[in-house]
Every structure is written in structure tokens, then in C-alpha cells.
């Protein structure tokens, strides 16, 4: 299985901050990388797919970059509704594997 390593696992941050989350694959996954936002009790939602494509309806403050093995999700100015857990996931190979998640908490 392709291992996805996400960092940090948690982050204390404030509204207005710029946040960067990284995800590293154990082998090249080209651009088959999706970022999800997950809030408790809710369905996870796609933010970014294909490493850098913004999902329809997602605010432009969410930016994805990278290819191969190293990927980044940047939130340019954190909003109150952005406090959630974020997951990366590779869909290059079966099984599609997820990172362990990054939980954004209010400082």
C-alpha cells in the first residue's frame, strides 16, 4: 500500500492566519491527490482534487499544490468555519489510502 504521511497532526491557529498542511506519499502518485475537510457528524467534503484543482463551490482561499510525492494544502486566511480536520488521500493505486489527518484548533 502507498503510505500517506500528513503533517502536522494538529495545529493551534487563529482566524486570519495562513495555514499550510503537507502530505507526502511513499511513492510517486502523479497528481492523484485529493484534500478533504471533515467536521464532526458531517459528511467529508472535497476541497482540492488532482492536487491543485479547486472543487466547485469551495472558496479560493484553499490552494493545493505539488505532484509526485510531495503535496501542500494552503489556507490563505483562516475563517471561523475552517476549523475542522483535513485529510489527504491518494487515488493513484488500490487501495486508495488516506493521511492520518490534521486537526485545526482555535488558539
Binding residues (CB under 8 A) for other proteins: these are: 1, 31-34, 36, 41-46, 49-51, 53, 55, 87, 89, 91, 94-101
| CA 48 – CA 88 distance, rounded (Å) | 9
Question: What are the cell numbers at 24?
Answer: 507526502
CB of 97 to other proteins, least distance (A): 7
| CA 26 – CA 104 distance, rounded (Å) | 24
Whichever of 17 and 69 has its CB closer to other proteins, that residue is: 69
CB of 14 to other proteins, least distance (A): 26
CB of 103 to other proteins, least distance (A): 12
Whichever of 64 and 75 has its CB closer to other proteins, that residue is: 64
* DSSP codes joined into one string, 8-40: -SEEEE-TT--EEEEEEESS--TT-EEEEEE-T
Amino acid at each position: 500500500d502507498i503510505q500517506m504521511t500528513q503533517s502536522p497532526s494538529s495545529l493551534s491557529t487563529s482566524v486570519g492566519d495562513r495555514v499550510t498542511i503537507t502530505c507526502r506519499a511513499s511513492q510517486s502518485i502523479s497528481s492523484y491527490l485529493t484534500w478533504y475537510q471533515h467536521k464532526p457528524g458531517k459528511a467529508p467534503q472535497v476541497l482540492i482534487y488532482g492536487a491543485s484543482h479547486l472543487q466547485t463551490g469551495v472558496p479560493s482561499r484553499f490552494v493545493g499544490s505539488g505532484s509526485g510525492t510531495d503535496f501542500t494544502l494552503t489556507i490563505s486566511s483562516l475563517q471561523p468555519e475552517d476549523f475542522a480536520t483535513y485529510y489527504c488521500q491518494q487515488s493513484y493505486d488500490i487501495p486508495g489510502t488516506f493521511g492520518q489527518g490534521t486537526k485545526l484548533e482555535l488558539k
